[in-house]
Amino acid sequence: MKRYTTNKDWNVVIKRLIRNGWIYQRGGKHGRLVPPNGARTVTISNSPSDRRSLKNFLCLVKQIVRAD
């Protein structure tokens, strides 16, 4: 399995988004996810440390999907 971050829960979510047409671009300390419509990118830390970071990320993804 390809690792996108050091957190296994994040990897599962990112893998699911990629299967749904999102594009992952690797950076130095951060990766980027580009939605299928290309409207707005989401930046992801390679080592997320905040306990709420996944929940905040999921809310942001929902906002982007709803705006489409």
What are the pLDDT digits (tens) for 5-14?
888 999 999 9
Angle at 28 between CA 7 and CA 68, to 5 degrees: 70
pLDDT band per the 50, 70, 90 thresholds, residue 28: confident
What are the pLDDT digits (tens) for 37-56?
888 899 998 888 888 999 99
Q: Where are the domains of the chain?
A: 8-67
Q: Given this model, what pLDDT does residue 60 score?
A: 92
| Statement: residue 34 has pLDDT above 80 | yes
| Statement: residue 1 has pLDDT above 80 | no
CATH number at 8-67: 3.30.920
Ordered strands of the 42-45 beta sheet? 23-25, 30-34, 42-45
